[in-house]
Amino acid sequence: QRPRNFPPGPFALPVLGNLLNLNLENPLKDFERLRRTYGNVYTLFIGRNPAVVINGLKVMKEAMVTKGVEFAGRPQDLFINAITLKRGVILANYGLNWKEHRRFALMTLRNFGMGRTSMEDRIHGEIQYLIKTLESNVGKTMSPEHMFHKAASNIICQVLFGKRYEYDDDFIKEILILFCEIGKLINGPWSMLYDSFPFIRNLPLPFQKGLRNVEVIIQTLIGGLVAEHKKTRVPGEPRDFVDCYLDEMDKRVDESFFCDKQLTVITQDLYIAGTDTTSNTLLSSFLHLTNNPHIQERVQQEIDQVLEGKAQATFEDRHKMPYVQAVIHEIQRMSNIFPLSVFHCTTKNTELMGYSLPKGTTIIQNLTSVLNEEGQWKFPHEFNPENFLNDKGEFFKPEAFMPFSAGPRMCLGEGLVRMMLFLILVTLLRKFKFIWPEDAGEPDFTPVFGITLTPRPYRMKVELRSTND
Ligand code: HEM
């Protein structure tokens, strides 16, 4: 039932709600169609549960920033909550446990507090493996999918566990397969049925497999790594995130949210949140750059100029590269990796644009509607770095640039992502030229819909740049 003064929306069927109004393969076009009919705040019934979809910069800012705390909850009774055992950061409800873990993770992900190796060094270390792989493909065409996925996974593993895995390592293969299966389940109809009909949750249905996978990941794989850390750590001299967490556990002997179980879930959270998002952005980068060779060349000119005589790029160099910055931001805007963000819910009775939303209302942020909103961008629907350049050719970031969302729940990996994207793209584009193969036909920019949007598989040709010969 629709609560009083609730936002409008399409007629909902008794059990299915509005599921038939959506193409579950990719509902983004339906979200846009419904926005045009019902406005920037509307209701959809996901099964029996009402969810309010919010669209456009104005509404997004009012909910996420002005009334940030009132919209900072997470729904707690969904399949994905069972997957994260109601712990960690991403899906933890608004409260002290979430706050403390978020603050700790943010602080630890910054450069300091993680031993002698800086974040930049860790990223550059992994880039050397990317270079090796690309060098072995010079003159050929290659599919970059696995390479970027494993590189992103390795950087996050370095940060979390202080170790990387060879691109064909069994551990990483196993973990990626398990996550892939879980991802499919979360996106599929079984998860929707789990959310809508609590009485089926203990039945032997396919979602049980996802729950078992999580047990394997958390207990066997991550649990094993944590046990190893406990044996080899030197308290007060952390090598990585896990060591930092164990130090924090030592400090908080009595009253503690910080415990072994939380540690395994928060590391799983960061791994999940960081891997697909980053690798899909990298894939999207090369899809755009190979299909816009003039933009790739201009990026390379700026890189050559700024890095002349330098062995490698540092993150600080970004301030001297407005065009590179504009291109990276434009790639993120167009690739729209996390189109529906993570579901929020209201933490108290509140109002939005004159509608009343009771405590516990599910909120779906349609980030797509901001990233291509007319009136906010010079070129909302085309790939054009001018969206991030002012008349003087200086880099600027419009308010509507929200791929990381906004407010108290905003992505806490943004700093790390920025550094990864900049260092990886600058280093690779300085050394190599990437070409759309002549026989590859027209590129297909329509991504595959999932929790994150994934570019369709493609191949690219790799050449060494003549300036580096
Ligand atoms: C291109 C890469 C990425 C994009 C586009 C992205 C985007 C997002 C978005 C849209 C959210 C939801 C925010 C909200 O609910 O309002 C989020 C949450 C989160 N992200 Fe990212 N993310 C990226 C990479 C990363 C990385 C590398 C990490 C860490 C290693 C990370 C960690 C998190 C965490 C922990 C949350 C949950 C925050 C909370 O609930 O308080 N993300 N991200």
User: Closest ligand 1 atom, CA of 88?
Assistant: 35
Q: Token pair of 464, please?
A: 């060494």
The stretch 370-383 carries a mean pLDDT of: 97
Q: In the prediction, which pLDDT does 468 show?
A: 47
Any ligand 1 atom below 6 A from CB of 71: no
Closest residue by CA, ligand 1 atom 20: 411
Residue 175 has pLDDT above 90, yes or no: no
CA 412 to ligand 1 centroid distance, Å: 6
In percent, how much of the chain has pLDDT > 70? 96
Helix (H) or strand (E) holding 149: helix 145-161
CA 255 to ligand 1 centroid distance, Å: 28
Q: Out of 411, 419, 424, give the residue to mutate to test ligand 1, the one with the largest number of ligand atoms within 8 Å of its CB.
A: 411
Q: Token pair of 310, please?
A: 């330098």
Closest alpha carbon to 96 in 266, 246, 258, 254: 258
Any ligand 1 atom below 6 A from CB of 389: no
Distance CA(155)–CA(158), nearest Å, equals 5
Any ligand 1 atom below 6 A from CB of 130: no
Residue 326 has pLDDT above 50, yes or no: yes
**327 vs 212, more confident:** 327
CA 339 to ligand 1 centroid distance, Å: 12
**Cβ atoms within 10 A of the Cβ of 178, count?**
18
Any ligand 1 atom below 6 A from CB of 370: no
Domain positions in the chain are 19-468
Give 116's pLDDT tier (boundaries 50, 70, 90): low
In CATH terms, the superfamily for domain 19-468 is Cytochrome P450 (1.10.630.10)
Residue 281 has pLDDT above 90, yes or no: yes
Distance CA(283)–CA(287), nearest Å, equals 6
In percent, how much of the chain has pLDDT > 90? 66
Q: Collapsing DSSP states into helix, strand and coil, what is residue 52? A: strand
**Cβ atoms within 10 A of the Cβ of 325, count?**
22
Any ligand 1 atom below 6 A from CB of 60: no
What would the pLDDT profile of 68-113 be if each residue is shown by its tens digit? 999 999 988 777 777 776 678 898 999 999 999 999 999 998 755 5
**320 vs 171, more confident:** 320
Q: In the prediction, which pLDDT does 467 show?
A: 54
Residue by residue, DSSP assigns 355-424 as EEE-TT-EEEE-THHHHT-BTTBSSTTS--GGGGB-TTS-B---TT--TT--STTS-TTHHHHHHHHHHH
CA 249 to ligand 1 centroid distance, Å: 24
Give 309's pLDDT tier (boundaries 50, 70, 90): very high
What would the pLDDT profile of 19-55 be if each residue is shown by its tens digit? 888 887 788 999 999 999 999 999 999 877 899 999 9
Q: In the prediction, which pLDDT does 406 show?
A: 97
Any ligand 1 atom below 6 A from CB of 75: no
User: Closest ligand 1 atom, CA of 421?
Assistant: 1
Q: 453 CB contacts (<8 Å, ≥6 apart)? A: 280, 335, 336, 337, 338, 339, 447
Closest alpha carbon to 151 in 136, 135, 172: 172
Least confident interval from 265-274, 303-312, 321-330: 265-274
What would the pLDDT profile of 215-250 be if each residue is shown by its tens digit? 777 777 788 899 999 999 999 999 999 999 999 999
To the question of whether residue 411 is assigned a binding role by annotation, the answer is yes
Q: In the prediction, which pLDDT does 127 show?
A: 97
Distance CA(422)–CA(282), nearest Å, equals 10
Give 166's pLDDT tier (boundaries 50, 70, 90): confident
* Residue 363 Cα distances to 60, 70, 72, 334, 346, angstroms: 11, 11, 10, 23, 7
Distance CA(35)–CA(463), nearest Å, equals 45
Tell me if 273 sits within 8 A of 192, measured CB to CB.
no
Give 469's pLDDT tier (boundaries 50, 70, 90): very low
For the chain, what is the mean pLDDT?
Answer: 90
- The model's pTM is 0.93
CA 408 to ligand 1 centroid distance, Å: 12
Distance CA(149)–CA(278), nearest Å, equals 8
The stretch 384-402 carries a mean pLDDT of: 97
